[in-house]
Amino acid sequence: MNRVIIFDTTLRDGEQAPGFSMNTMEKLEMARQLARLNVDVIEAGFPISSEEDFEATREVARQVGTLENAPIICGLSRVGLGDIDRCWEAVRHARRARIHTFVATSDIHLKYKLRKSRAEVMKAAVEAVRHARGYCEDVEFSPEDASRSDFDYMCDVLSAVIDAGAGTINIPDTVGYAIPAEWAERIARIQEKVPGSDRVVLSVHCHNDLGQAVANSLTAIVHGARQVECTINGIGERAGNASLEEIVMALRTRKDFFGMETRVRSEEIFKTSRLLSHITGIHVQPNKAVVGENAFAHEAGIHQDGVLKEKLTYEIMRPEDIGRPSNKLVLGKHSGRHALAARLKDLGFDLAGGDLDRAFRAFKDLADRKKEVYDEDLIAIVTDEATQTEAVYQLDYLHVISGTGVIPSATVRLRKEGQVFQDSGVGDGPVDAVLAAIDAITGLKGRLQDYALRAATGGKDAIGEVGVKVDFDGTVVSGRGASTDVIEASARAYLSALNRLVQPAGRRVRDVGP
């Protein structure tokens, strides 16, 4: 088989990293885009971990997993039989569902986390896979912390779960400890040592703690792995997971070397990456491979002369291969509803009725302030509209006095459940003053941990997108806001974080998973 299965875990491993949590609406929006990207498997969540994660996984299975040619919808589960029941309950709505069950096999995890013997863990793994197979054909098993597990013991577990009916065996480098040459040898040895491994799909799940996640995933493919688990923009626990876009584009650009294919529609990569940034409020670094602002040669001044003469001097990939828009003028003040709907459809957003009305109002509002409305502006508007839950606090009015020689002050009016509240604040700068005014209204004191401002497009009248991470008395939530006025964008970002705080995701179980 010369095809690599792309297993996306943005909504599970990626989402559980601090600051990246997504609500059900946001997960759904992301899942729809992952389906357009044409990944093979979407790991939608860890249903036992919380009521909200269960609901989000179930809705992804129901609303995305039932589409024509939908990806397999997968849920993560520990080996407890009750956990597996709950996982199945969430994913069973999909046309093709998968249960992914895991248990640690390293002595350090056995001793300190599970407090179980090797024999007990082996038995639990086999029972879990059998139980899951009672529900569905497609069962995946991961020995967590594989890279630090005793090799012979881990192989015994793998061969037992294959006998029990697991169809995919996933080898995770849970702590990002592996080095490519060593990892390649381990992957090759697993296939020699585990009876039945030729009957199943061998998968890897690599973390990036030492910056080796993509390298480890690619070397595993060379040595027989046919599924890689990865995330958009490489998000995930700690330093993140292997990045989907880097793996896909490496396989594509260096097909001469790998001789492998994926089903991914690479022209959807850029949009998927930006959608995730909009949803989480966290932008990718400019020098990020494939999707960063500076990733293509034509943007880096030093090479421009060479690029103008012949693109291939410095470009090994073309921006259009990942669907990167050229930011050409698309719409303006006089564009109508139909033009907007048509352009949005080209961008992959099929809006109608009330959704289109809201997007059109936001577009008109923007076009009044900004002469030229670019694709990226539209994406910013629509993802904001589509993924915001019913906000508890809404911005009604904002007035700021700032300048040299005055103390910045702000007056803010917020709407909450039909009522209007107003207060004012002063600060070191206009943003600080606005946040002080909001805190005065809500009575909640937020401490800004992170603040990032980015222009969505070029030009002096560009939309400013603000992403914030706010610490409210020990609970860290992220938020995002967009406006041509950066002070307003900051206020919106802060309010969106606040709205997440007052409608919390409420995790009950905290287990990291593979």
Q: What angle do CA 367, 368, 372 make, to 5 degrees?
A: 35
- Indicate the SS3 state at residue 209: coil
Choose one: 7-15, 17-25, 288-296, 345-353; the region binding Zn ion (CB under 5 A): 7-15
Q: Which is nearer to Zn ion, 241 or 273 (CB)?
A: 241
Count of chain residues binding Zn ion (CB under 5 A): 1
Give the residue nearest to Zn ion (CB).
13
Dist CA 128 CA 123 (whole Å): 9
Q: Which is nearer to Zn ion, 13 or 372 (CB)?
A: 13
Amino acid, single-letter form, for residue 374: Y
Amino acid, single-letter form, for residue 143: P
| CB-CB contact of 434 with 490 (8 Å) | yes
Q: Does 268 bind Zn ion (CB under 5 A)?
A: no
Q: Which is nearer to Zn ion, 8 or 13 (CB)?
A: 13
Dist CA 399 CA 411 (whole Å): 5
State the nearest-atom distance from the C-beta of 62 to Zn ion, in Å. 25
In the set 6, 8, 13, 178, which binds Zn ion (CB under 5 A)? 13
Q: Which is nearer to Zn ion, 13 or 145 (CB)?
A: 13
Choose one: 12-20, 64-72, 324-332, 414-422; the region binding Zn ion (CB under 5 A): 12-20
Amino acid, single-letter form, for residue 363: F
| CB-CB contact of 157 with 220 (8 Å) | no
Q: Which is nearer to Zn ion, 16 or 409 (CB)?
A: 16
Footprint (CB under 5 A) of Zn ion, residues 282-341: none
Q: Where are the beta strands (DSSP E) in 195-299?
A: 201-206, 227-230
Choose one: 9-17, 79-87, 424-432, 473-481; the region binding Zn ion (CB under 5 A): 9-17
Q: What angle do CA 194, 173, 158 make, to 5 degrees?
A: 20
**Quick count: other Cβ atoms within 10 Å of Cβ 391?**
18
Closest among 136, 134, 48 to 94, alpha carbons compared: 136
Q: Does 173 bind Zn ion (CB under 5 A)?
A: no
DSSP 351: -
State the nearest-atom distance from the C-beta of 512 to Zn ion, in Å. 7
Choose one: 5-13, 146-154, 190-198, 386-394; the region binding Zn ion (CB under 5 A): 5-13
Q: Does 15 bind Zn ion (CB under 5 A)?
A: no
Choose one: 13-21, 133-141, 298-306, 498-506; the region binding Zn ion (CB under 5 A): 13-21
Q: Is 413 exposed, middle or buried (0-12, 13-18, 19+ CB in 10 A)?
A: middle
Q: Which is nearer to Zn ion, 177 or 258 (CB)?
A: 177
- Indicate the SS3 state at residue 87: helix
Q: Does 26 bind Zn ion (CB under 5 A)?
A: no
Choose one: 8-16, 119-127, 130-138, 359-367; the region binding Zn ion (CB under 5 A): 8-16
Q: Does 144 bind Zn ion (CB under 5 A)?
A: no
Closest among 375, 379, 382, 429 to 406, alpha carbons compared: 429
State the nearest-atom distance from the C-beta of 51 to Zn ion, in Å. 23
Q: Does 83 bind Zn ion (CB under 5 A)?
A: no
Q: Which is nearer to Zn ion, 100 or 492 (CB)?
A: 100
State the nearest-atom distance from the C-beta of 511 to Zn ion, in Å. 11
Amino acid, single-letter form, for residue 365: D
Q: Which is nearer to Zn ion, 13 or 268 (CB)?
A: 13
In Å, how far from its chain's centre is CA 479? 15
- 89: Cβ–Cβ under 8 A, 6 or more apart, which residues? 47, 54, 58
Q: Does 29 bind Zn ion (CB under 5 A)?
A: no
Q: Which is nearer to Zn ion, 13 or 246 (CB)?
A: 13
State the nearest-atom distance from the C-beta of 12 to Zn ion, in Å. 8
**Quick count: other Cβ atoms within 10 Å of Cβ 427?**
17
Chain contacts with Zn ion (rule: CB under 5 A) = 13
